[in-house]
């Protein structure tokens, strides 16, 4: 008989919460009792798991002593209030928000990169930001092999990274524009349909956005390297699912594009698609959306720098960028007993 674990999914009606339920089923996670939870507003709605319908419970009323694992994807405010309560009740929290990521005692884990950190938790394990996760799955093997001094990354991020309302805003704006009607911006600062917006999260005094600074310090924390330089430009594009990244690195020791390719082909969680002809590269829609892997394409030497490598990195931001990474952390946890 397999040991099972009672699991709470906090934010069960959101895009990431839904994907967590799908992935727990798809990957046959040993779920005992399941408790989908949300705010009072969403409570009572049905969600589905292994052919059964579950009524979403009210987070504020839930007794976390009933579960061993709680997967949170409900934003920083909710995590700040409820994750400590869940921990106090004896449960391990895997949190998708940025709330605890920077706390020294909270492991920030990408299972392909630093799985060993999972077991050092004091009740909370943080899931990194979507853009960081896919970048580091692809870069960690190179980092381990030849070292990386600097990362310069420009992102092409899907609207689903901003949640269900952002997906609806892109769809609504697109439909209105195709019908020559006026649009309004509710969630985004400017028109999102047929446009690209160079700001995600609020801007810092340094001129970097919150999303960009997350990529900087999360990379340092996960790789345990305070020296590594990261300069990101984070941009929202009118894509529903799947983040793309143009990544430029400077390695410590020289490595050829061919060696990088061979290295990544043998590395976990990565699929290399890199042919010069016939669209031999990955895109958000045609390769990444709905898939688990981080796709790497356009691996080439930087013609301006001896130790430079350029790559194109694409992954499903809701799956590997959030839900899948969280479920993989849960899998690591149960492998040695929670």
| Terminal Cα distance for the chain, rounded | 17
The region of 111-119, 284-292, 317-325, 328-336 touching its own copies under the rule CB under 8 A is 284-292
Q: Does the active-site annotation cover 234?
A: no
Total Cβ atoms within 10 A of residue 186: 11
Q: Which residues contact 189 (CB under 8 A, 6 or more apart)?
A: 197, 199
Single out the residue of 109, 130, 230, 324 in contact with its own copies (rule: CB under 8 A).
230
Q: In the window 155-214, what residues touch its own copies (CB under 8 A)?
A: 156, 171, 174-175, 178, 189-191, 194-199, 203, 205-208
**How many of the chain's residues bind its own copies (CB under 8 A)?**
59
Q: Which residues contact 253 (CB under 8 A, 6 or more apart)?
A: 146, 147, 307
Q: Which of 70, 11, 65, 75 is nearest to 42 (CA)?
A: 11
The region of 23-31, 53-61, 140-148, 279-287 touching its own copies under the rule CB under 8 A is 279-287
Q: Which residues contact 64 (CB under 8 A, 6 or more apart)?
A: 8, 70, 85, 86, 88, 89, 90, 91
Q: Tell me the C-alpha distance between 5 and 195, whole Å.
A: 45
Q: In the window 231-260, what residues touch its own copies (CB under 8 A)?
A: 231, 233, 235, 237-240, 242, 244, 246, 248, 257
Single out the residue of 85, 164, 291, 298 in contact with its own copies (rule: CB under 8 A).
298
Contact in structure between 128 and 110 (CB atoms under 8 Å): yes
Asked if 276 interacts with its own copies (CB under 8 A), we say yes
What amino acid positions are annotated as catalytic residues?
A: 130, 243
User: Contact residues for its own copies (CB under 8 A)?
Assistant: 150-152, 154, 156, 171, 174-175, 178, 189-191, 194-199, 203, 205-208, 216, 229-231, 233, 235, 237-240, 242, 244, 246, 248, 257, 276-279, 281, 283-286, 297-305, 308, 310, 312
């Amino acid at each position: 008989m397999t040991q099972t674990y009672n699991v709470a999914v906090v934010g069960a009606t959101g895009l990431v919460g839904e994907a967590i339920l799908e992935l727990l089923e798809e990957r046959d996670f040993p779920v005992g009792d399941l408790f989908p939870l949300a705010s009072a507003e969403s409570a009572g709605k049905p969600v589905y798991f292994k052919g059964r319908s579950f009524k979403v419970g009210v987070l504020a009323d839930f007794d976390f002593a009933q579960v061993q694992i709680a997967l949170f994807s409900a934003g920083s405010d909710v995590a700040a209030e409820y994750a400590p309560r869940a921990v106090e009740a004896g449960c391990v929290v895997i949190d998708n928000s940025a709330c605890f990521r920077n706390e020294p005692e909270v492991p920030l884990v990408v299972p392909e990169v630093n799985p060993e950190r999972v077991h050092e938790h004091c009740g909370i394990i943080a899931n990194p930001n979507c853009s960081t996760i896919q970048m580091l799955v692809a870069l960690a093997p190179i980092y381990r092999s030849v070292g990386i001094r600097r990362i310069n990354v420009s992102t092409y991020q899907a609207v689903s990274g901003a949640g269900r309302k952002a997906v609806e805003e892109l769809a609504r704006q697109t439909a209105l524009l195709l019908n020559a009607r006026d649009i309004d911006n509710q969630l985004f600062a400017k028109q999102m349909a047929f446009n690209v917006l160079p700001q995600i999260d609020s801007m810092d005094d340094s001129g970097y956005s919150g999303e960009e600074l997350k990529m900087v310090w999360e990379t340092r924390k996960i790789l345990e390297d305070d020296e590594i330089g990261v300069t990101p430009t984070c941009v929202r594009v009118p894509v529903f699912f799947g983040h793309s990244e143009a990544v430029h690195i400077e390695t410590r020791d020289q490595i050829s594009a061919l060696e990088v390719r061979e290295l990544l082909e043998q590395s976990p969680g990565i699929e290399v698609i890199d042919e010069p002809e016939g669209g031999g590269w990955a895109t958000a829609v045609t390769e990444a959306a709905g898939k688990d892997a981080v796709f790497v394409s356009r691996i080439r030497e930087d013609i301006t720098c001896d130790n430079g490598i350029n790559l194109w990195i694409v992954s499903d931001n809701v799956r590997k960028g959030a839900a899948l990474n969280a479920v993989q952390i849960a899998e690591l946890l149960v492998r040695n007993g929670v």
